[in-house]
Structure 1
């Protein structure tokens, strides 16, 4: 769902968004021959993003506040269709060198966007003038935005898989301690917790996305638990398949056993999983943290926590929203300074962004009393140091073909249509296919 945007941006966002959804927006339509300054003399700043729903509402409010604080900047925010349509248009805009001044990008997709060709580097001295420096970010996440010694992405947040739980159900099952979920250590203990919830309710204890068109839930679950074993799917440079069969099978067999025993809902898509939890029909939900606004709006008695360490490490699959500078042949001057100004302002005001569930990447915000008061959003903030991003490869990252294809493969393990061994063999085959395929974006490295 795309909520209405504030009036000063509605025409632009709605018109271009509709064309993007229909596939008729030319690759350079929003950026062609745009002047550096508006008729009023303010610096022109065009910002493309893919945020809708709760994200879009939060962002619209923040951009309105930024506009009020910066009357010298004429901000034009364009909401484009989430997923492949967005990334295709963003890449093509960079090819032409007539792109917007600023855009949003999932950090794990950076390698596929030809830093230095489709993207321009940030001016770190200019960011530092606004009080934003490298030390303000987790080192691993910051490094993922750096290529060839230049910074091409500035992280805004991380959005990991988390564990939602119904407080009333868990209290009935004796799983709460001081109102919080008691610590869970290991897969066997977590399985026993699920059995206790099922015994208390008479229904499956946990729901998660297990099927659906372009479903990615199976991949995100596998990636989370496989990363906890210390296993890697690709080499550090993203060029070789290095999956550990023993570790992968250990995870897949456990996932299969959960639905086989009736502890997880077997067949449900992403929206259905949210609905099941929303109605209090299960004790737990494994999913993305952005659903927090849904459950708070519906006054569900719930809380959230990090996914427990089941296989040896407390990691969780994640990606990060980040800011990038799409390539412009004549980047510089007031519009480029305005882009850096907006990035720094968004980071310093990311308490407002965190209300939607995302964990701020800007470390000073994590100690902000306003953020610490966000309940339950601040409960899982420590996961920032343990997120597992995809290896750097053009076919990885949010909305990528790898997520969708491997999501389909591993969903079969949850529904019972594939055995763990057959799913692993199929996953290997599909990953090899990606490795053998050049990056289809013009101008981008493979």
Structure 2
């Protein structure tokens, strides 16, 4: 009997140890909206984190549909206390999420637990992560509008320096002269850019003029007549490129991409997320020598449309997060930011300065050639109407994109966009 009791005691101790170990491991429920190449890279990061943190923290990841379905599900789930512990989010949508009570504040103490502080990121990203001075997100990357170029065409025109970077493109006259030079009667264009994405270029050029899109205290959207004029000027710029035949009037994203990759356009303006597309084509021998740089400065200052993938902690009504779980969540966030060099392979710029300014990133091409836009990024304004799948995007599509093709007068479109958005405040 004593032998049996001893054996039972050993079994009990072992079971207790196993239970204690199981309780010690934290499971962090994760939602993201990342598909395609982004999704593959994020899954690899999650797997690497889980392997490194076995027995301590494990991420239980789920990918949901991008856009309205994701944001709606996160908002409703958080409202009934059934949201995840952590989620990816666009910084441009933070004001709307805060207004709906979806997100939990991320305090300075939380950031310290992750080994992070505001000084580790660009001012633009830090401000975009806050509402009324309160932080609700931690930036993971900055993605924005850049200029892709055909190195072979520019080299033949004598427009490349010794490092293979374009020369002589800054200034409206210089850039338009380049567009004209590369446009021919046999179907070659100076520029390819999808019609539906032109608003990003217009917003960039608006930012290059120092325009203010939104100021709650000064009257809302485009608060002065000068701001409306700057929007009209930026829109007229793109319309002029269409009118002169330097870029197609109406072209969908796949056709616009094909126009550039087939060598029928010298330049392609699009977000940095197309970098993997060109990298993969080049690896298969199906792409010419290409590069990517910041947008040329056509007006007064550097500026480019930008947004940021970031991490947020849903509020989850009635489900308080205990200290151990919160510490685990912040460990996930800090680890992801410190390992964001792998994410940069998708073309994104690491938000964490230590990664972005490191030797390994500087050796990454063409990412390091356009990384400077992170410091002069123009984010959506701090308003509940901004962000992907939000009213601001509808306004761009309803007024500005059509004005670039002559369906609306640029000045009228700018004024109508202002009035439409202000009517929704």
- Summarize deviations over 1:265-302 as a string: whole Å, max 9, x none: 21111222122212221111111000000011011221
Match of 1:204 in 2: 189
Larger Rg: 2
Output aligned runs, 1:411-422, within 5 Å: 411-422=401-412
Are 1:95 and 1:118, in contact at CA under 8 Å, matched by a contact in 2? yes
Match of 2:326 in 1: 336
Task: State the SS of the aligned residue for 1:226.
Answer: helix
* Counterpart pick for 1:292 among 260, 275, 278: 275
Matched, 1:309 2:302: no
Output aligned runs, 1:216-227, within 5 Å: 217-227=197-207
TM-score (norm 2): 0.87
Matched, 1:161 2:145: yes
Deviation at 1:192, TM superposition (A): 0.4
Matched, 1:170 2:154: yes
Are 1:120 and 1:327, in contact at CA under 8 Å, matched by a contact in 2? yes
How many angstroms apart in 2 are the aligned matches of 1:152 and 1:189?
42
* Counterpart pick for 1:322 among 300, 310, 320: 310
Match of 1:191 in 2: 176
Match of 1:380 in 2: 370
The more displaced of 274-283 and 55-64 is: 274-283
Deviation at 1:238, TM superposition (A): 9.1
Are 1:220 and 1:407, in contact at CA under 8 Å, matched by a contact in 2? no
* Counterpart pick for 2:115 among 113, 131, 134: 131
Q: How many residues align?
A: 394
Task: State the SS of the aligned residue for 2:269.
Answer: strand
Are 1:161 and 1:289, in contact at CA under 8 Å, matched by a contact in 2? yes
How many angstroms apart in 1 are the aligned matches of 2:280 and 2:374?
26
Matched, 1:122 2:106: yes
Structure 1 unpaired stretches of 5+: 1-36, 436-446
How many angstroms apart in 1 are the aligned matches of 2:402 and 2:62?
37
How many angstroms apart in 1 are the aligned matches of 2:228 and 2:52?
54
How many angstroms apart in 2 are the aligned matches of 1:424 and 1:335?
48
Taking a change above 3 Å as real, the CA distance of residues 417 and 143 of structure 1, as seen in their structure-2 partners, is closer
How many angstroms apart in 1 are the aligned matches of 2:300 and 2:216?
20
Deviation at 1:416, TM superposition (A): 2.5
Match of 2:9 in 1: none
How many angstroms apart in 1 are the aligned matches of 2:250 and 2:91?
31
Output aligned runs, 1:53-132, within 5 Å: 53-71=36-54, 72-114=56-98, 117-132=101-116
Deviation at 1:427, TM superposition (A): 1.4
How many angstroms apart in 1 are the aligned matches of 2:374 and 2:64?
28
Taking a change above 3 Å as real, the CA distance of residues 183 and 366 of structure 1, as seen in their structure-2 partners, is farther
* Counterpart pick for 2:422 among 424, 432, 439: 432
Match of 1:273 in 2: 256
Are 1:319 and 1:398, in contact at CA under 8 Å, matched by a contact in 2? no
Taking a change above 3 Å as real, the CA distance of residues 195 and 414 of structure 1, as seen in their structure-2 partners, is same
Task: State the SS of the aligned residue for 2:265.
Answer: coil
TM-score (norm 1): 0.83
Runs ≥4 in structure 1, deviation > 3 angstroms? 37-41, 147-150, 199-202, 236-239
Deviation at 1:347, TM superposition (A): 0.5
Match of 2:352 in 1: 362
How many angstroms apart in 2 are the aligned matches of 1:222 and 1:238?
22
Match of 1:353 in 2: 343
Task: State the SS of the aligned residue for 1:350.
Answer: coil
Taking a change above 3 Å as real, the CA distance of residues 51 and 231 of structure 1, as seen in their structure-2 partners, is same
Task: State the SS of the aligned residue for 1:89.
Answer: helix
Match of 1:391 in 2: 381
Match of 1:24 in 2: none
How many angstroms apart in 2 are the aligned matches of 1:411 and 1:38?
57
- Summarize deviations over 1:325-345 as a string: whole Å, max 9, x none: 001331123322221111000
Are 2:340 and 2:350, in contact at CA under 8 Å, matched by a contact in 1? yes
Are 2:168 and 2:175, in contact at CA under 8 Å, matched by a contact in 1? no
How many angstroms apart in 2 are the aligned matches of 1:154 and 1:376?
25
Taking a change above 3 Å as real, the CA distance of residues 341 and 116 of structure 1, as seen in their structure-2 partners, is farther
Taking a change above 3 Å as real, the CA distance of residues 303 and 142 of structure 1, as seen in their structure-2 partners, is same
Match of 1:234 in 2: 214
